Amino acid sequence: MYWLDEGYMKANYGDNWKEEYERSFNDFKFYHDQLKPFAKEILSALDTKQIVILKDGTYKISEDLKKKLQTDKIYKLKHPDKT
């Protein structure tokens, strides 16, 4: 969540960075709630060995999970107040 980094905020919003930080911080829950199911599924897949992280930093993933998670479709987070 790089957009909550103070350096990023100062570089992109200048003197208004604190206002933008507060707005972004308040929006965090909306985005967290949308990402949480993905995180749970990935953690579960690690537990059940559907995803195995190898010593060289690469990983193996089951074909079913690969088809579901590694698609060309970009998942866009939604905010209820923004369209």
| Interval 5-30: pLDDT, tens | 888 888 988 998 999 888 888 888 88
Domain membership of residue 15 as a residue range: 2-69
Q: With respect to residue 22, please indicate whether it lies within any of the assigned structural domains.
A: yes
Residue 81 domain-assigned (yes or no):
no
Residue 9 CA to residue 13 CA, distance in Å, equals 6
Number of domains in the chain: 1
Answer whether 54's CB lies under 8 Å from 48's CB: no
The pTM of the full predicted model, rounded to 2 decimals, is 0.64
Residue 79 lies in a domain: no
Confidence (pLDDT) at 83:
57
